[in-house]
Amino acid sequence: MLTLAEVERHAKVAIVAVDGERGFRRRLLELGLCPGTAVAITNIAPLGDPLEIEVRGGRLSIRKDEAAQIRVRR
């Protein structure tokens, strides 16, 4: 299964599900990363981590291992 951490920059994907412990995933869902939402990686920090993502017209930064908990489809 594809995760957000494996997606190349600027590719538009849709969120399928957010995995992980309950408090962790609830935080991401509440920021609007719910299933069906379009998301794209727009940038990678100069030191390789974290990632800058575009979701619902805003920019958030999340760490790679967090992005690996977000399952996506093309």
For residue 47, state whether it binds other proteins (rule: CB under 8 A): yes
Q: Among 22, 39, 40, 41, which residue sits at the site for other proteins (rule: CB under 8 A)? A: 22
Cis check for the bond before 46: say yes or no (omega within 30 of 0).
no
CA atoms within 13 A on the CB side of 5: 14
Q: Which amino acid is it at 70?
A: I
In the Cβ-directed half-sphere of 45, how many Cα atoms lie within 13 Å? 11
Q: Which of 3, 16, 29, 71 binds other proteins (CB under 8 A)?
A: 29
Q: Which is nearer to other proteins, 60 or 71 (CB)?
A: 60
**Among positions 9, 10, 12, 26, the unique one binding other proteins when judged by CB under 8 A:** 26
